[in-house]
Structure 1
């Protein structure tokens, strides 16, 4: 089973963004890496100069590179940039918004977890049009994952296995609103929260996390205990979503459990130490509330 690394969802400083991928290229036991700004197009210029060197470093380390498209395309500029991404690159584009499909015109590509593929028919539709890899939405139960994987034996099916779970994307910027700013003059305040901004209920209970225009879970998905079931379902890859912690050690932990050098219980203890104060969840996979954590 492969390990995939999803794109950085948060607004990290450009040098930190670059150095993160350099280290993942050199040290992390991951097979596939998705790069690019997919949450907010306003952030893209900060990382553009570093993207070529990041891609080269990852490829030199033997990683397959996916170029992520924007999750929500709402402006002409964003549509044009999405078309250019699909047209000028030889690397596999990871589609996160269906706007990107027309420009790909049947070329091989990947599908990210933000595209609503909930059944075999939807998955087969995309596979017939060139989708070689599909990272399924994180809210799918295991029965749906297994049905889709069985229906597409020639496609690499990936499941979101670690990180705060992406739940929604909006045209409005929550970060700007919290700081009493307009989206067009946000001053990039999302950079203040390298792991997102926690949201509490009126009862002061941890609830969600906001990241600019994106809403994520407060909990961290951890599917280490479900690896056996995912293998049986013929899932080909597990996706790790970058968080503000030692992601090399996270990848090593998953690799050790996958290869039998560590059991899931021991691996989860390691993850808890690496990413403290953030509770685990795997409820979606078990058809339960997403924030719940069922120990196998």
Structure 2
């Protein structure tokens, strides 16, 4: 890697109380070595009011620190008011909008925008269609193996590509809220119980093994994807940016580790060791990138053998 590789902080997928949300982004603005920050609610429209009162202050603070700000759309639109909200983002104040649902594409047609990891871009033809619609950058789905990533980059060089490099992997989203139901509530009367689990609610097998996490209407992986031991892969695949998805840990320290590896100032194995210390709540994984089961961890020093640590 070289310093040509940029870092993007993706939207916060969890529900945090307003003050915690604001203070998190203020610290990101002041201390995190990221180039771009994606703001906004992606998972559940009912959460929007938690950030609305502080959004302008957060945007101002981030931009004053030299960071580019993008605004995320919802990943699932099921109501008229949600469709209206999507259109209002497209007609917004000049910030690039990140489309995370196909319903946003018509409103964004012929306007510069970006594509988030919730849109299934599995081949170069899909990337080209999105580029013709106005997309300037695409964060590829986190389950794509490196071979597919390379093919997309070759066939669609006009679009900047981004990899989902850190965070629990978003696996599914539903119109129903399993998180609320797990706590004896309904989606319409959830009372925002998801704020009790700021890093997701663990889902365990009958034998007690954690394997998923709930986040409102969203299902995430239990393991945390971490593409920090792929220093020669990333740029050679045609990737221009790595996406860090906020977790309930020190994201300034996480972004600093990725920045150090990208700049060649820290060996990747050392960085992954430190990453486990910063975020011990979930095992690290990179299996998807290597064409294996997503929850696996492929150690860098043994990649050539395809062995698992």
TM-score (norm 2): 0.95
- Alpha-carbon distance in 2 for matches of 1:238, 1:168: 21
1:219-247 CA-to-partner distances (Å, cap 9, x unmatched) read 00111111311111121000000000000
Contiguous gaps of at least 5 residues in structure 2: 301-309
2:234 match: 230
Task: Please report the RMSD computed on the Cα atoms of aligned residues, expressed in angstroms.
Answer: 0.8
Q: 1:189 offset after TM fit, Å?
A: 0.1
Greater shift, 67-76 or 219-228, is seen at 219-228
1:254 match: 258
Aligned residues: 296
Decide which of 192, 196, 202 is 1:192's aligned counterpart.
196
Decide which of 135, 141, 153 is 2:139's aligned counterpart.
135
Greater shift, 16-25 or 226-235, is seen at 226-235
Decide which of 168, 173, 176 is 1:172's aligned counterpart.
176
Q: 1:88 offset after TM fit, Å?
A: 2.1
Decide which of 80, 85, 89 is 2:89's aligned counterpart.
85
- Is residue 57 from structure 1 mapped to residue 66 from structure 2 by the alignment? no
- Is residue 39 from structure 1 mapped to residue 43 from structure 2 by the alignment? yes
- Is residue 6 from structure 1 mapped to residue 10 from structure 2 by the alignment? yes
Q: 1:259 offset after TM fit, Å?
A: 0.5
- Alpha-carbon distance in 2 for matches of 1:276, 1:201: 20
- Alpha-carbon distance in 2 for matches of 1:277, 1:181: 26
- Is residue 144 from structure 1 mapped to residue 148 from structure 2 by the alignment? yes
Q: 1:272 offset after TM fit, Å?
A: 0.6
- Is residue 214 from structure 1 mapped to residue 197 from structure 2 by the alignment? no
1:48-104 CA-to-partner distances (Å, cap 9, x unmatched) read 111111111111111111100000000001000110111123110000001111111
Decide which of 62, 68, 74 is 1:70's aligned counterpart.
74
- Alpha-carbon distance in 2 for matches of 1:282, 1:100: 30
- Alpha-carbon distance in 2 for matches of 1:93, 1:169: 20
Aligned with 2:188: secondary structure?
A: helix
- Alpha-carbon distance in 2 for matches of 1:222, 1:154: 27
Decide which of 156, 160, 168 is 1:156's aligned counterpart.
160
Decide which of 113, 116, 128 is 2:117's aligned counterpart.
113
- Alpha-carbon distance in 2 for matches of 1:58, 1:39: 22
1:230-268 CA-to-partner distances (Å, cap 9, x unmatched) read 111121000000000000000000000111110100001
